[in-house]
Amino acid sequence: MKKLLPHVILLLSLAGFSQTVSIPQNDNSPEDLVNVLLNNACVEVSNVEISSEQSVAYFTNNGGAFPIEEGVMIRTGNAYLTQGPYTDENLSSQVNSLSDDVLEQINQDSGQSSILTDLAFLEFDFVPLSSNFRFNFLFASNEYGEWQCVSSDVFAFLLTNLETGETQNLAVIPGTDTPISVKNIKDSDFNNSCESDHGNLFDTYNVSTPESSTVNMRGYTKLLGAEANITPGTPYKIRLVIADSNDANFDSAIFLDAGSFTADVDLGQDKMICDGDVYSLSTGL
């Protein structure tokens, strides 16, 4: 029995590792990634673009405890380095030195004057059949802990009505118009140099418990929702974009929930239909 014990320990260790977040190298096209998010939602999609294959990738939690089962992640740097568990290594990387005008304005409006770099994005045009548009996501950053009192990495979900040119940012603190960042979703338990901000929206700090971690990022928020009222039949663009602030050190990332991008049509109350019954359904479009 004692001779079997090392093998039992090894199997348990491998089982734990298999339930961490991984980035399968499936050579997914940008269109494949969007299809993962939409999962046959009632939208017509076109003009799909990503910043690079290194920064935008499909992920799965392999049945583990990470809050999102599968989806698409966008990272300021190399997405492959996000695979769990947490190792305290590969926390910084750089793919480009690009910036973004809208993110720069968001950064300035928040009181930050730092330059942005290492831009990463996924964007596409779509025509919805419904007035409801929403999706689930969480924000992760390697600036949680040591740098959470001063971090200003910036991200946004920019929804643009292509007929009017009006743009709104959906990546905001729930119930406010304040853009989400490390600085305004943080828990002082992991750095008491500054107070907590919306600490109820922060989820996990992996540095404290690396043995139970599922992703190689220092910390991340709870699962959040982005939503907007849109006009059926009108063309829109959604641009999911993130950048490092000041320098490319300590990457940040967005995790987008597969199949959570919805723009469903409400066909009315549920009906019981028996054999021979006839009932008309109307989309209202």
* Cα(68)–Cα(150) distance, integer angstroms: 28
* Predicted local confidence at residue 88, as pLDDT: 96
pLDDT > 90: what percent of the chain?
72
Q: Which of 79 and 13 is assigned the larger pLDDT?
A: 79
From residue 128, give the alpha-carbon distance in Å to each of 40, 195, 242.
12, 42, 25
* Predicted local confidence at residue 13, as pLDDT: 38
* Cα(179)–Cα(173) distance, integer angstroms: 6
Asked if residues 201 and 145 have their Cβ atoms less than 8 Å apart, the reply is: no
Of 33-37, 100-104, 263-267, 274-278, minimum mean pLDDT range: 263-267
Strands (E), 108-201: 116-128, 132-141, 154-161, 167-169
Of 4-13, 17-26, 77-86, minimum mean pLDDT range: 4-13
What are the b/e assignments for 157-180, b being 16+ CB within 10 Å?
bbbbbeeeeeeebbbbbeeeebbb
In order, the DSSP letters of 137-155 are: EEEEETTTTTTTTT---EE
Res. 132 pLDDT band, cuts 50 70 90: confident
Q: pLDDT of 191-204, one tens digit each?
A: 999 999 999 999 99
52: Cβ contacts below 8 Å, ≥ 6 apart: 95, 96, 120
Res. 267 pLDDT band, cuts 50 70 90: low
Q: Is 55 exposed, middle or buried (0-12, 13-18, 19+ CB in 10 A)?
A: buried
What is the mean pLDDT of the segment spanning 31-60?
A: 91
**So where are the chain's domains?**
19-257
* Predicted local confidence at residue 8, as pLDDT: 36
- On average, the pLDDT of the chain sits at 88
* Predicted local confidence at residue 266, as pLDDT: 59
Res. 11 pLDDT band, cuts 50 70 90: very low
Res. 258 pLDDT band, cuts 50 70 90: very high
Per-residue tokens: 56: 């935008």
Res. 263 pLDDT band, cuts 50 70 90: low
Please name the residue that has the structure tokens 């479009």: 285
* Cα(83)–Cα(85) distance, integer angstroms: 7
